Chains A and B, each alone.
Chain A
Amino acid sequence: MIGLLVIVSLAWTAFVKPEKDREKALAASGTESISTLPQYQPSDPDEAQLAGGLKQFWAYTGFRNATSGNLIMIVVGLIFIFLAIRYEYEPLLLVPIGTGILIGNVPFFSEGGLNLQIGIYQQGSVLNYLYFGVLKGVYPPLIFLGIGAMTDFSSLISNPRLLFLGAAAQIGIFVTFVGALLLGFAGPEAAAIGIIGGADGPTAIFLSSRLANGVNILPDGTTAKNLIGPIAIAAYSYMALVPVIQPPIMRLLTNSKERLIRMKPPRAVTRTEKVLFPIFGLLLTCFISPSALPLLGMLFFGNLLKESGVTRRLAETARTSLIDIVTIMIGLTVGASTQADVFLTRESVMIFGLGACAFAVATMSGVLFAKVMNIFLPEGDKINPLIGNAGVSAVPDSARVSEMEGLREDKTNHLLMHAMGPNVAGVIGSAIAAGILLSYLG
C-alpha cells in the first residue's frame, strides 16, 4: 500500500506536475495552446514525422492528461481495494468498486469534446454500454432476484412483529431527505440521497438512477445533477463500515439490563408458510406501493423460486451465477462512474456527510423502536433492543453486529437468528420507501 502511494507520488512529481506547471506558465504568459509554442524544427522530414508521432503519443498518454482529481480518486480506489483485501470489508463489493474507480480515473485525451469511446460517459464505449444497466435501473432488480433466492424468511415468519423494526429503521431515509433539502438539494436529488439511510446499495442505485441521473428536468427547468456515483459509493462505503458505525450508537441507547434480554427461540416454520410468504408479501406490499414493484417483485419472485422446491435449478442460478455476474457489472460500473470531474465536487462531500447521518439515524430509530415495543410487550416476551439496528437492510452485516454486541454482554445470548428478522424486513421496508419517494418525486 505504502509502495503504491510512493509510486503515485513519484509519478505525479515526475510526469504530471512539470506538465501542469508548464501549462500554468503558458496560461500566465497568455499562450493558449501547446502547439503554438516555438518548437524545434528538424530539417529532416523523417525526423519531423518521428517527433510529431512521439508528441502525439505523449498527448494521448494518461500522464499527459492526468489531473490531481484523477490521482486522488486512484488513491481512493486503492484504499477500497486495500480495505477489502486486508480487512475483508465487503470484499465482493469493494474489490469491483475499487477497481472500477481505478478504471474510471485513468486519464485519457478528450480535449475539444473528442470522443475516443474510452470513458464511461462517452457514447459508444464499452463501459458506457455496461453503465446502461445502472443508468436505466436494470441491475438492481436482478440483484434483488438473487437476494430473494438466497434469503430465508423463516425468522420473520415465525416472529412477524419484528417487521416493525424493519419499518422503524426507514425513518433514517426520511430524516436524511429533509436534511438534504436543507442543504440546498432539489427534491428528487434529496430523495435519492435520503435512500442511503436504507443501507441498501441496489435500492440506492435504483432510486438515484431514476431521480438524480443528470437527465431529468426539475420543476424549475434545470436538470437534475448526476449523483448516482457519489450516492452508490456512499451507500456501499457505509454498508462496509456498519461494524464501526453501529456499535457505539447501540451501546449509547441501551442499558446493561436491556442488552441481557433473552428472546424466545423462534418456532419452526412450515413449508406452506414459506411458500405463501413471497406470494402474499408481494401482493400486500406492492398493492400499497406499486412503484416498488421492480424491486419487490424480483425479491419475492427469487424467494418463491427458492421455497417452492420445484425450481431448484432456477433458484441456484439466481443466487449464484446471476447475482455474481450482476454484482461484477454493478460494482465495476459504479466504481468507474466516479470519474474525478464528476465525483470530486462539493455535493459529493455533502452526500457523504448526509450518508453518515442517515446510517446513524436509521440505527437509532431501530433501537429506540425496539425499546418502545418493549413497553407494551409482556415480561418474558420482550425484544432485545440490540436487534433494532438490524432494521437497516445491510444483510447480514447489521445482524452480525447484533450478534457480536449480544455476545459482548453475555457469551451465551445468541441474537443472530432473531436479528435476521428485522434485517430482511429492512430490505422490504427500504424498497417500499424507495417506491414512495419515486411516486412523489419521479
Chain B
Amino acid sequence: MKLQLLLSATAPVIDSMTWTIVFVGIAIVFLALACVYLFFRYFLTFILNFRLKSFARKRGIDPAEMVTAKNMQSGEVNAAIAMALYSYMSELHDVESGVITIRRVSKNYSPWSSKLYNMKNL
C-alpha cells in the first residue's frame, strides 16, 4: 500500500522523455555493437580473404589451399600438436644395453680416510 502511494506520488517523473531515453538508449547500444559485429563478421573477413587470394594468384598458388580466417586451425589444435611434439621429443633418451653390472671400485689405502682408524679414536 505504502509502495503504491509512493509510486503514485512519483509517477509523473516517468514521462515520455524517460521512455525515449530507455528505448533509444537500448537501441543505440545494440546498434553500435551490431555495427562492430557486421564489420568483423563479414566486411573484415571478406577483405582479408580477398587480399590473401589475390596474393595467392600473384604467386601462382591455388587460392583454395591458402590459410584464411575461416579454415585457420584453432589455437587449441595448435596447442595440442605442440604439446604432443614436446612430449615425444622430451621422452627420447639413449638406448641402453639392459645388462646390469656390478663394478668393483678399488681404492688405495690412506690413513686419512681409514674407517678403522677413526672408529678406534671415538
User: Quick check: A268 and B72 within 8 Å, CB to CB?
Assistant: yes
Q: Does A252 contact B (CB under 8 A)?
A: no
**Distance in angstroms between the alpha carbons of A170 and B74 in the assembled complex:** 31
A392: which B residues are within 8 A, CB to CB?
A: none
Question: Main secondary structure on chain A at its contact with chain B?
Answer: helix
With the chains together, A178 CA to B29 CA distance in Å?
17
B61 at the interface (CB under 8 A from A): no
- B95 proximal to A (CB < 8 A): no
B109 to chain A, nearest CB (A): 65
For chain B, residues 26 to 40, give those with C-beta under 8 angstroms from any C-beta of chain A: 26, 28-37, 39-40
Q: Are the C-beta atoms of A432 and B37 separated by less than 8 Å?
A: no
Q: Are A268 and B36 in contact (CB under 8 A)?
A: no
Residue of A177, A268, A440 most packed against chain B (CB within 10 A): A268
Q: Quick one: CB contact mask for A248-268 with B, threshold 8 Å, 1 for yes?
A: 000000000000000001111
Q: Is A310 an interface residue (CB 8 A)?
A: no
Closest residue of chain B to A284, judged by CB?
B35
* Contact across chains for A163 and B36 when beta carbons are under 8 A apart: yes
Contact assessment for A160 and B35 in the assembled complex, using a CB-CB cutoff below 8 Å: no
Given the known inter-chain contacts A182-B10, A284-B32, please indicate yes or no for A177 contacting B22, CB distance below 8 A.
yes
* B110 CB within 8 Å of chain A: no
Within 8 A of B (CB), among A247-293: 265-270, 272-273, 276-277, 280-281, 284-285, 288-289
Assembled-state Cα–Cα distance A191/B7 (Å): 18
Q: Which residues of A contact B25 (CB under 8 A)?
A: 173-174, 433, 436-437, 440
A409-438 contact mask (Cβ, 8 Å, vs B): 1 or 0: 000000000000000010011001100110
The answer to whether B18 touches A181, judged by C-beta atoms less than 8 angstroms apart, is yes
Q: Which of B18, B26, B30, B35 is the one whose CB lies under 8 Å from A164?
A: B30
> Are A289 and B76 within 8 A (Cβ)?
no
A165 to chain B, nearest CB (A): 10
Residues of chain B contacted by A191 (CB below 8 angstroms)? 21
With A164-B30, A170-B29 in contact, is A178–B37 under 8 Å at CB?
Answer: no
Q: For the complex, give the distance between the alpha carbons of A60 and B13 in Å.
A: 46
B21-A440 in contact (CB<8A): yes
A177 partner residues in chain B, CB cutoff 8 A: 18, 21-22
A330 located at the interface, meaning its Cβ lies under 8 Å from any Cβ of chain B in the complex: no
From B11, B21, B69, give the contact of A273 (CB < 8 A): B69
Q: How far is the CA of A440 from the CA of B9 in the complex (A)?
A: 24
- Asked if B74 contacts A265 (CB within 8 A), the reply is yes
CB–CB B13/A265 < 8 A: no
Report the bound CA distance from A281 to B34 in whole Å: 11
Distance of B90 from chain A, by nearest CB (Å): 25
Contacting residues, chain A, for B6 (C-beta < 8 A) = 183-184
Residue A157 CB within 8 A of the other chain? yes
Whether A207 is near chain B, meaning CB under 8 Å from some CB there, is no
Interface: A161 (CB within 8 A):
yes
Q: Nearest Cβ in chain A — how far from B43, in angstroms?
A: 9
**Selected contact of A183 from candidates B10, B39, B69, B74, CB within 8 Å:** B10
Name the prevailing secondary structure of the B interface residues. Answer: helix
Residues of A within 8 A of B11 (CB): 182
B44: min CB distance to chain A, Å: 6
Would you call B73 an interface residue if the criterion is a C-beta within 8 Å of the partner chain's C-beta atoms? yes
Q: CB-nearest residue of chain B relative to A273? A: B44
0/1 per residue, B1-29, Cβ < 8 Å to A? 00000110111011000100110111011
Contacts of B36 in A (CB 8 A): 160, 163, 280-281, 284-285, 428
Tell me, yes or no, whether A171 is within 8 Å of chain B by CB: yes
B76 to chain A, nearest CB (A): 5
Q: How far is the CB of B74 from chain A (nearest CB, A)?
A: 5
CB distance from A371 to the nearest CB of B (A): 17
Is B75 among interface residues, defined by CB-CB distance under 8 A? yes
B114 within 8 Å of A (CB atoms): no
Measured between beta carbons, the chain A residues less than 8 angstroms from B120 are none
B74 touches A268 (CB 8 A): yes
- Whether the Cβ atoms of B26 and A170 lie closer than 8 Å is yes
When C-beta atoms are compared, the residue in chain B nearest to A183 turns out to be: B10
Contacting residues of chain B (41-60) with chain A, CB-CB under 8 angstroms = 41, 44, 48
Q: Does A167 count as interface, using CB distance less than 8 angstroms?
A: yes
Roughly how many angstroms separate A184 CA and B12 CA in the complex, as a whole number? 10
Contact (Cβ within 8 A) A429 B33: yes
Expressed in whole angstroms, the Cα–Cα distance for A105 and B9 within the complex equals 36
Check A163–B22 contact: CB distance below 8 A. no
The answer to the question of A166 belonging to the interface, with a C-beta cut-off of 8 Å to chain B, is: yes
Q: B32 contacts which of A187, A272, A289 (Cβ < 8 Å)? A: A289
The verdict on A273 contacting B22 (CB below 8 Å), with A182-B13, A267-B69 known, is: no
Enumerate 11 A-B pairs (CB-CB under 8 Å) in ascending A order: A184-B6, A187-B13, A265-B75, A267-B69, A268-B74, A273-B40, A273-B48, A284-B36, A428-B33, A428-B36, A436-B25
Residues of A within 8 A of B (CB): 157, 160-161, 163-164, 166-167, 170-171, 173-174, 177-178, 181-184, 187, 191, 265-270, 272-273, 276-277, 280-281, 284-285, 288-289, 425, 428-429, 432-433, 436-437, 440-441
Q: Besides A167-B34, A170-B29, A177-B18, 10 other CB < 8 A contacts?
A: A157-B40, A163-B36, A164-B37, A166-B33, A265-B74, A268-B73, A269-B69, A437-B21, A440-B21, A440-B25
